[in-house]
Structures are given as structure tokens and as C-alpha cells.
Structure 1
Amino acid sequence: ADFAFRFYKQAVSKEADKNVFFSPMSISTAFALLAVGAKSTTLSQIFEGLGFDSLTETRIRDIHGSFHKVLAVLNCTDVNVTLNIGNALFVAVGYKIQETFLQNAKQFYDVDYFSNDFNKPEEAKKHINKYVEEKTEGKIPALIDHLDPNTILVLLNYIYFKATWEKSFDPLRTREDDFFVNTNTSVRINMMQRQDKYDSYYDQDLSCEVVELPYQGTARALFILPDDGKMKQVEDALSKETICKWEKNLDTRRLDLQLPKISISGSYDIKKLFMEMGITDVFSNNADLSGISGRRDLRVSQAIHKALLEVDESGTEAAGATAVMVNRFLPSFPTIKFNRPFLILISDKTTSATLFMGKIVDPT
């Protein structure tokens, strides 16, 4: 989970007043898979960047083992939730990959394996993009923009999530409303509304309202609404400890909840962000990916991530992916109205894995 918040802070530092949406689960799994073939400093930088330390040989096997377990649990089909997460390797035709790398990639990450002719980059790109598009139910149709003909290997992770709210919003109560992007800009949005009992908590120290919206099944979304002008303060405090504190203090109360319908996406240059986070060797000529090729002749040339979030009355759909809710005013109970920038965390309760994380500055 720490990785999720560190990556979030890095992404936000680039563009403070923009929507942010990404899947920590997807990014960390892709790099953990890459780590199967990494050695020396390259390996330790990747794992330290993902939040793991004291890297003995046993510990490294345990990390891969825990990714394997989490992926297995997440992929277990719950009737109410669609959650598909998987990995693939696209390898240049005729390129000899180390057998142990392939075995471990299969054993721990259950990879799909394809061989591709990267000398025909357009065709190779089409093949990979089509695979991702199918796996994300059409939500991420063009993950890769360009491929270098010198590509040897593309490692890939996809995640697709679709879940229904435990308590859905009545579309007849959804109204047009203002959403205040900042102090002098507002946009018209569709605000959903429901009066019901919700688990929520007002954090006095951080000046924010926290509301948990469970999905049918084992997933839930946490919506965090900072008071006016307090977004930065809340963002700076984001950590596993803060989330634990919020969860401990959640209390059931009747609310008039107003949450906007959301449709946003995010696109990230992971290479750039990771280098700023101290994961540098794997992208340079110092890279040691000899576990893949048997020689120290490979490095990562590009790393990208795209994610998409759609939230409506019935639930949430996210790919590579994240979610938000909104409501109309009735005087009888406290109203929590998400009509200014807020944060969203979508996680799986059984594994505590953060599937998606984001900030909604403009739900449209």
C-alpha cells in the first residue's frame, strides 16, 4: 500500500490540479514480474521502490509468492464482482529467453506467452493493444503508442474491475449540479444522491470527511472529501497509517450522500516517475536483467500506464483503473456533498490490495 501513496505523491507533484487515476496493483505487479529477471542493484532498486526491504534470496522468493497469492485471490470470481488481473510476455521471434525466467514468470505470475515480430512494429503494436483491449473489456484500446523495432520483450499487466454498489443510487434522483474544480471555476455535473446509513468519519486533524461505499462482494471504495483548501494537507498525510486510522474510526450514521457521476482517465510515463523515485538502474546501461537474457545487455526503454474510471448510480467500472459518488440536499441528516475535488481509493477487503487510487478534480 505504501507504494500506492508514494507513486500518487510523485504523480501529483507533476500536475497539482489535474485528475489522477492509476492502478497501484497493476504497476507494482508488472515491475515485480520484471524483477524475476533482474539481479544486483537493479533488483534491489525495483523492490525497494515497490516498498520491500531486507532483500535476502528467501525474502525475494516470498515476495513473488505473495504476489502469486494476491493475484490468485483477486481473480477468484465473486458473482457480484468482475475482477480480472493478469500478465503477459510478448517476446521477439527467435529471441532466446532464459528457461528459469520463463518458469518463474509462469509459476508466480501465470503469464500468457506470445512471440512477436518487432521488426514490424505496427503489427506488433496492434497485436499487444488488441490483447489489452480484450482483457479490459474495451476500456483501454490503445495502451502502446509506438514500439521500437529493437524491442526484445514487452511485459504487460492488465486489470479490469466492475462492481455494483451494495446500495445503488436511484437514477431518478440524479440532478445537474455545480462541481467546484477550484475557487473560481465550476463545471456542471450529474450529482447522484442517496439517503441511507453509511460508514463515515470526520477527521478533525486533517479536516476531511471520509465515507466508505461497499460494493457487493469484497471490494469497497473510500471517498475522501477535504474541506475547502485542505486537499494538499490531506494528500501529504496519505499513508497506510492514515487509512488504518480512518478505518478504525468509521462509524455508521445516516447521511444524505451526494456524489458525482465520474468518467476520467489517467496516462503515466512510469519510466519518468520511477526514475524520480530512485528506480534508475533498470532504465540505464547499468541495468542487470541477465536473468532474462543470460547477459547484461537489456534495459527498459519505456514503461507506461493507463487507467480509466467510470462511476455511476449502479456501481463502478475501472480498467488498468478508479471511482466517485454525489447527492442532493435534504435537511434532516448531515449532508456530505462531493462537489469539490476529492480522493478515491478502491481496494479489496480480503487482501487489502489497493486496486485503484485517484483524485477527482473534474469528474467530467
Structure 2
Amino acid sequence: MCYHLHSRMSVFLYLFFLVFGLQATIHCAQYNSSEGKVMTCHLPQQNATLYKMSSTNADFAFRLYRRFSVENPDWNIFFSPVSISAALAMLSFVSGSSTQTQILEVLGFNLTDTPMTEFHQGFQHLICSLNFPKNELELQMGNAVFIGQQLKPLAKFLDNVKTLYETEVFPTDFSNVSAVQQEINSYVEKQSKGKIIGLIQDLRLNIIMILVNYIHFKEASSNFSVDKTTTVQVPMMHQLEEYYHFVDVELNCTVLQMDYSENALALFVLPKEGHVEWVEAAMSAKTLKKWNHLLQKGWVELFVPKFSISATYDLGSTLQKMGMRDAFAEGADFPGITEDNGLKLSYAFHKAVLHIGEEGTKEGIVPEAVSLDQAEVAPLYPIIRFDRTFLLMILEKRTRSILFLGKVVNPAKE
């Protein structure tokens, strides 16, 4: 049965965020999945807009983190802020009136400070910088749009989403729900290198467009107290290594930076007992900048748990609470996609997966003059033991973009 779009009918624009982190060493290859060819991305010149955007995106990341924390108390948290920001920015590109204004406000941007052209060029530069081929960091970020074949997308939409947001567009027959599910699941499985299979199971009717946003990242690289009354057994990784670290006496936490490669780094933040909420409330772009200036390199005896976490969020509900209401309402305005009217968002969710283990981690290096005898080594260096709730950030060095952000409450729970 052929599905026809009528201007008075409220049809659904299905927004879907796919984010996945792969297990520990960073891989990045930039492919056009439909052709299997390497895509060309010319690295843009560094500019003030790129760094201003990184700061604004970081503040959005922490606002979203605090929402997830309130909505999922005592749960592990893990998501990709830069991926969500890029997908919302792309959505703002095709929206108008208050729908666009609300998306920009949720992201933390306004057109007075950042004109629309500069805003989208900034995200174009950000995506290009993240995807630019590097020797050690392998990172791929992109979008795919599955759009109803009965629609007539505007030529400007097709050109700009490809140029600005590195998006592939696939005409799709949404009248065959099972075939669409199989097509999208196959795409997801391919992009995740087989890590995510059969993600979409119950595709809704009346869907006319699905946006898939993905980020493919591979990092290179006892007892754990869940709360005062609960302790779980988890394997701990032990290293004696030089790391940038320091104790933030203002926020009552220890910060340790781990360089996985020339281009990516991780920040582990260990709040003192009972101070997790204090640290969470203070997290901001300004806080990250302060830590960046205060971190000092030194030998550390480090204990980090092995763990795998995955998290799925009803992002639509969260974004509406943050002020992005019109996009999901009957009066939603998306004039940049097609001349047909009546489009609105029906659903949005975000999934992220992370595995931290010993594969790919570097062997600890110790000074030649220092004995490896534990009795002699132990008193010489500070011991940092991540054996209670801690925060985790993975950042791309050049843009300081937060690729992933999370909190490990219980490493035994996936």
C-alpha cells in the first residue's frame, strides 16, 4: 500500500541517534559506506569560532549530563555529547521560527552572538576536524538520513547536509516497515563493525524520515565501592606510569589525564567520598580549562577497574524538558527538508557503549633507577585508586571536544 503525504496530515520525522564506542585502541577511517571509498575532508584553518563552539558544546554536555543524572539516579551514565550536538545542529539547519530558536537555545547558542552561517560553518569545521585522517587517532563521525521515497527533498537540503554535516541520504520505502528495519539495522551493524545488531525492532507507522547519527571511536590506550553499604567485586588494572594529575581542593576531587594517543585523551575524575554531586554541579567548560592549566606530570600508581557500560536514553523526553518543545508538537516547523508540510519529531533516543579493558593499554614504564619491588615502589609515588564512583571524559585534543562523557557508579553493571 502506497503511503501519501498530505499537507494537513501530521506525519512523523523520526530522529534517531546512534552512538557507539568500541573497545579500548582508537580507530578512525573515513568511509562513504554506500560506495566504500575514502571521503576527502580538508582540514580547516583554526579559528576563534571553533574554540567558542567547543566551549559552548562542553557546557551543553554538562547540562545534559546533569539531566541524565537526575533522571537516572545511582545509574551508570554514558553518552556522546559532540554527536548529539552535531545532530541537533543539523536539525536546526532544516527548521524555522520558534522550532529553530528552541533547538539553538537548548544547545546554548543564539543568533546574536553566533550568526547562522557562522554556526553551521563552525559545526562543519568541527566534524571535518574530528574526521580528518590522523596517524594514531581513529575516529569517524557522520550522519545518515533515510527519507521516504515519496517525498521530494529540496536540492538545497541534499547539498547542504552532505557538505556541512557529511551526511549520506538514502531514499527509503517506509511502507514496508520490516524491510526498513532490516536496512537500517544492517547499516548500524556495518558502522559498528558488528557490535550492534538488530537495534531497531518496532519501527513506528507513519514515519517518513530517520536521522542516524553515529560516532565510531576506539581508544588506545580488587573491590569497587558502589555506596556506603554495597561493594562489588571487579577486576582492577594496575599500572605504574607517568600521568598528568592533581588534586582539586576546591571541588574535593582528584583529576587524572590519560593520553591514549597523540590526538585523544581521557580525564578520570575521582570525587572524595560524599562529594560526587558537588563535583557534578560544578562541571563546566571553565572547569575543564582550569584543570588543563593545573595538571602536572608525575609518577602515579594507578588502579582502574575493567568494565563495560552501555546506556540508552529517551532523548526526546529530556530535550523537551530542556526547552525543545515545538519540534515534537503539531506546529513544528521544518521547511528546509521538503515543500510538504506537517513534519514533526515523534521520537529520539541515544545509545552509547564503552568497554575499558587491558587490550591495547600500554605497559607501565618506570625510571631505570627504580626497583620494581613493590615494597620499595609503593611509598615513593601517590596511589590513585578508582574504587568508588568516578566521572570519565574522552576528549579530542585539537578541538577539546567531549567525545564521550559518563559516570561509573557500578562497573559490574553493563
Provide TM-score, normalisation by structure 1. Answer: 0.90
1:246 partner amino acid: W
1:1-364 alignment runs, 5 A limit: 1-55=58-112, 59-165=115-221, 177-315=222-360, 330-364=378-412
Secondary structure of 2:223's partner?
Answer: strand
- Cα 1:41–1:141 shift into 2, 3 Å: same
Gap regions ≥5 residues in structure 1: 166-176, 317-327
Aligned 8 A contact 1:200 1:211 in 2: yes
Matching residue's letter, 1:355: L
* Aligned equivalents of 2:185, 2:112: Cα separation in 1: 35
Whether the 8 Å contact between 1:139 and 1:308 is mirrored in structure 2 is no
Given residue 241 of structure 1, which amino acid in structure 2 is its aligned partner?
K
Query: Judging changes above 3 Å, is the alpha-carbon distance between structure 1 residues 55 and 129 closer, same or farther for their aligned structure 2 residues?
Result: farther
Give the AA of the match of 2:128. Answer: A
Higher relative contact order (CA 8 A, sep 6+): 2
**Distance in 1 of aligned mates of 2:400 and 2:198:** 30
Q: Give 1:125 deviation, angstroms.
A: 1.5
**Deviation of the 1:94 alpha carbon:** 1.8
Q: 2: distance between equivalents of 1:129 and 1:207?
A: 44
Instruction: Report if the CA contact (8 A) 2:158-2:169 is conserved.
Output: no
Question: Bigger shift: 177-186 or 143-152?
Answer: 143-152
Q: Supply the distance in 1 between the matched residues of 2:157 and 2:285 (Cα, whole angstroms).
A: 32
Task: Answer with 224-233 or 89-98: which moved more.
Answer: 89-98
Structure 2 CA distance for aligned equivalents of residues 296 and 120 of structure 1? 23
- Report how far residue 246 of structure 1 moved: 1.1
Contact 1:136 1:160 in 2 (8 A): yes
SS at match of 2:195: coil
Inter-CA distance 69–5: structure 2 relative to 1 (3 Å threshold): same
**Residue deviations 1:49-98 (CA, integer Å, cap 9, x gap):** 11211358x81121111111111111122232221111111011221112
Separation in structure 2 between the aligned mates of residue 132 and residue 123 of structure 1, nearest angstrom: 14
Contact 1:210–1:225 (Cα < 8 Å) also in 2? yes
> Rg: which structure is higher?
2
- Residue-pair matches, total: 341
TM-score by length of 2: 0.79
User: Structure 1 runs of 4+ off > 4 angstroms?
Assistant: none
Partner deviation per Cα, 1:222-274 (whole Å, 9 max, x = no partner): 00000111101000111111111111110112111111112000101110000
How many angstroms apart in 2 are the aligned matches of 1:11 and 1:286? 27
What is the alpha-carbon distance in structure 1 between the residues aligned to residue 231 and residue 128 of structure 2? 43
Larger mean Cα displacement after TM superposition, 242-251 or 138-147: 138-147
**Partner Cα separation in structure 1 for residue 158 and residue 310 of structure 2:** 33
How far did residue 313 of structure 1 move? 2.0
| SS of residue matched to 2:138 | strand
Q: Decide whether the 8 Å contact of 2:256 with 2:268 is kept in 1.
A: yes
CA distance in 1 between counterparts of 2:248 and 2:340 reads 53
Name the SS of the counterpart of 2:151 in structure 1. Answer: coil
Q: Within 2, Cα distance between the matches of 1:315 and 1:10? A: 33
Alignment deviations for residues 134-187 of structure 1 (CA, whole Å, 9 cap, x no partner)? 11222333443422231111111100101312xxxxxxxxxxx11011111111
Aligned-partner SS, 1:33: helix
Q: Quote how far apart the aligned CAs of 1:295 are.
A: 4.2
Instruction: Point out where structure 2 has 5 or more consecutive residues left out of the alignment.
Output: 1-57, 362-373
Look up the SS of the partner of 2:384 in the other structure: strand
Q: 1:228 to 1:263 in 2, by over 3 A?
A: same
Contact 2:136 2:263 in 1 (8 A): no
- Partners of 1:140 and 1:306 within 8 A in 2: no
SS of equivalent to 2:242: strand
Percent identity of paired positions between Structure 1 and Structure 2 = 39
Distance 1:144 1:103 in 2: 28
Cα RMSD of the aligned pairs, angstroms, is: 1.7
Contact 1:346 1:357 in 2 (8 A): yes
Q: Distance in 2 between matches of 1:289 and 1:87?
A: 18
Asked if structure 1 preserves the Cα contact closer than 8 Å seen for 2:152 and 2:339, the reply is: no
Measure the CA separation in 2 of the matches of 1:298 and 1:139.
Answer: 32
- The corresponding residue for 1:170 is none
Q: Which amino acid in 2 is paired with 1:17?
A: D
Stretch moving more, 79-88 or 207-216? 79-88
Measure, in 2, the Cα distance between the counterparts of 1:40 and 1:66.
21
